[in-house]
Amino acid sequence: MYKVQGIIFDLDGTLVELPVNWREVISSVENMLGIKVRSLLELYPKIWGTEKYELVSRMVERFEMASLDGFRFLDDSPQLLRDLSSKYQLGLITFQGINVAKRITEMIGINGLLMATRDDAPTRIEQISRIVSATRYEFEDFLVVGDLLNDVYSALKVGCHAVLVDRYSRYDDVDEIDKKITVIPNLKKLPKVLYV
């Protein structure tokens, strides 16, 4: 169980599901840049701070905004966030653009939610750091909740605690990694790993 002051959530795949056709996005980015792109998460830090980054980010945002018509909240996440917001400083990290993140957080309806998007930082470590540095707490006072190994490994690297939401049993062996990562099947199990 974790005794923390704040909880930082990943957005897509953790709190919501955005039906973005990522293959189409990557194909469009490849055509724009004239290079092979394995992963946007690998590309963003390489082109951060350049005009290419802005062009790519705005193109990706068009796909993300179009997907908002079909997005859905996972595990009644708005209610969970409302419940947690009275006890914890909440943060949101996402590789979505700021406009998409704002639209979704408006629907959630929580004031005081700190946010770091790909428009703020190109890596998960930098996003987590931005959230923590905007508070009076230390890294060890935060729990990061995400659905990808990048989320939880980045949290551990900066000294935060980590919970992996593994809805599809993709990471059966993760709970053995130094016993530092808690794996849960959905967000409804999150309160059980928190000292309240």
Write down the pLDDT at residue 176.
53
Q: Which residues of the chain fall short of a pLDDT of 50?
A: none
Please state the pTM of the whole predicted model.
Answer: 0.94
Instruction: Give pLDDT tens digits for 102-120.
Output: 999 999 988 889 999 999 9
Write down the pLDDT at residue 196.
63
SS (H, E, C) 60-117: HHHHHHHHHHHCEECCCHHHHHHHHHCCCEEEEECCCCHHHHHHHHHHHCCCCCEEEC
CA atoms of 32 and 167, how far apart (whole Å)? 34
Write down the pLDDT at residue 160.
97
CATH number at 6-17+72-193: 3.40.50.1000
Write down the pLDDT at residue 177.
59
Write down the pLDDT at residue 75.
96
CB 133 within 8 A of CB 112: no
Write down the pLDDT at residue 195.
80
Write down the pLDDT at residue 74.
97
What ranges in the chain are assigned the alpha helix state H? 22-33, 40-47, 51-67, 77-85, 98-108, 124-133, 149-158
In the chain, what are the domain boundaries?
6-17+72-193, 22-69
Query: What is the bridge-based pairing of β-strands 142-146 and 6-10?
Result: parallel
